Structure 1
Amino acid sequence: MKIDKSLITGSTTMLVLTLLNAGDKYGYQMIKELEEQSDNTFSLNEGTLYPILHGLENDGMVESFMAVAENGRKRKYYRITKKGKKLLEDKKKEWEFFSSKVNKVIGGVTYVGA
């Protein structure tokens, strides 16, 4: 099922922080993991991901560093900070509240998918 981009836009910060909460990652790795973990429902391109990461970095939610990847190439990695973990916790609570109210309005019906 195709998801309206406006629904995804409001949750991208939470999704990116969740990926980083599991460990340090580089951009392309985050894109691939998000696709895999969402059964290809969420597919960010670099033009969407990097502005999110840069904004989070400017706000002190993540920090970047250079490291050598498994293939021997230098890559820019990102890690979540303590401040970012707090934001993630707040975003998850916000999402749980929001989704419970949406489900309440639509009768508690959840989409199972095909």
Structure 2
Amino acid sequence: MRPTAQFKKGVLDICVLYLLQYSDQYGYDLTQKVNKHIPITEGALYPSLRRLVKDGYCSTYLQESPNGPSRKYYHITNTGRVYLQDMLEEWDHFVTSFKDLREEADQHG
């Protein structure tokens, strides 16, 4: 079963920031990495990247590419790292709460 578009949109920011905490990446590469686990289109990623840059969680820079035009790379900012940690804590709390709800419902039918 595949997650719905709304569900994916809700977790895309956390996926992007999580990947960026380890290395700067360009949009196409981010799309491919996320798409291995959560099916998305390249078009779904760029609004998220623009929003993350606008909100100060990421910055961008251009880097020459040996295979064509320069690529825009995304870099997580210190503000983005703090935001990511907050989001991860909220996500973990949400998942735990949902699991608790399911277990309780399953026990009491």
Q: Which structure shows the bigger proportion of residues in helix conformation?
A: 2
Matching of residue 75 in structure 1 with residue 71 in structure 2: yes
Q: State the one-letter code of the partner of 2:59.
A: E
Deviation larger for 7-16 or 83-92: 7-16
Q: Which residue of 2 aligns with 1:112?
A: none
Q: State the one-letter code of the partner of 2:64.
A: V
Deviations 1:66-108 (A, max 9, x none): 0023535410110100000001000000000000000001018
Structure 1 unaligned blocks of 5 or more: 109-114
Task: Tell me the CA shift for residue 45 of structure 1.
Answer: 1.9
TM-score, structure 2 as length reference: 0.87
Separation (CA, whole Å) in 2 of partners of 1:11 and 1:72: 31
Superposition misfits of 4+ residues, deviation over 4 angstroms: none
Structure 2 unaligned blocks of 5 or more: 105-109
SS of 1:19's equivalent in the other structure is helix
- Which has the greater radius of gyration? 2
Number of residue pairs aligned between Structure 1 and Structure 2:
104
Taking only the aligned residue pairs, the percentage that are identical comes to: 32
Q: Which residue of 1 aligns with 2:23?
A: 23
CA RMSD of aligned residues (A): 1.6
TM-score, structure 1 as length reference: 0.83
